[in-house]
Chain A
Amino acid sequence: AQKITQTQPGMFVQEKEAVTLDCTYDTSDPSYGLFWYKQPSSGEMIFLIYQGSYDQQNATEGRYSLNFQKARKSANLVISASQLGDSAMYFCAMREGTSNTGKLIFGQGTTLQVKP
Chain B
Amino acid sequence: GAGVSQSPSNKVTEKGKDVELRCDPISGHTALYWYRQRLGQGLEFLIYFQGNSAPDKSGLPSDRFSAERTGESVSTLTIQRTQQEDSAVYLCASSLGGGVSYEQYFGPGTRLTVT
Selected interface stretch from B12-20, B77-85, B103-111: B103-111
List, in ascending order, chain A residues with CB within 8 A of B56's CB: 100-103
Q: From B41, B45, B101, B106, give the contact of A103 (CB < 8 A).
A: B45
- B106 near A104: Cβ-Cβ < 8 Å: no
Interface string of A37-58 (1 = CB under 8 A from B): 1000001110100101000000
Cα distance A96–B101 when bound, in Å?
10
Cβ-based interface call for A108 (8 A)? yes
Cβ-based interface call for B100 (8 A)? yes
- B103 near A32: Cβ-Cβ < 8 Å: no
List, in ascending order, chain B residues with CB within 8 A of A43's CB: 89, 108-109
Query: Of all chain B residues, which has the CB nearest A101?
Result: B56
Q: Could you say which interface size class chain B belongs to?
A: 20 to 34
Query: Of all chain B residues, which has the CB nearest A94?
Result: B100
Which residues 55-98 of A have a CB within 8 angstroms of B? 91, 93, 95-97
- B108 near A44: Cβ-Cβ < 8 Å: yes
List, in ascending order, chain B residues with CB within 8 A of A25's CB: none
List, in ascending order, chain B residues with CB within 8 A of A44's CB: 106, 108-109
Cβ-based interface call for B91 (8 A)? yes
Query: Of all chain B residues, which has the CB nearest A44?
Result: B108
Cα distance A45–B91 when bound, in Å?
9
Q: From B43, B58, B109, give the contact of A104 (CB < 8 A).
A: B43
Q: A31-B100, A43-B109, A52-B100 given as contacts; is B42 within 8 A of A102 (CB)?
A: no
Which 5 pairs from chain A and chain B are nearest by CB?
A: A103-B45, A45-B106, A106-B42, A102-B48, A97-B100
Q: Which residues of B contact A (CB under 8 A)?
A: 31, 33, 35, 41-45, 48, 50, 56, 58-59, 89, 91, 93, 98-101, 103-106, 108-109
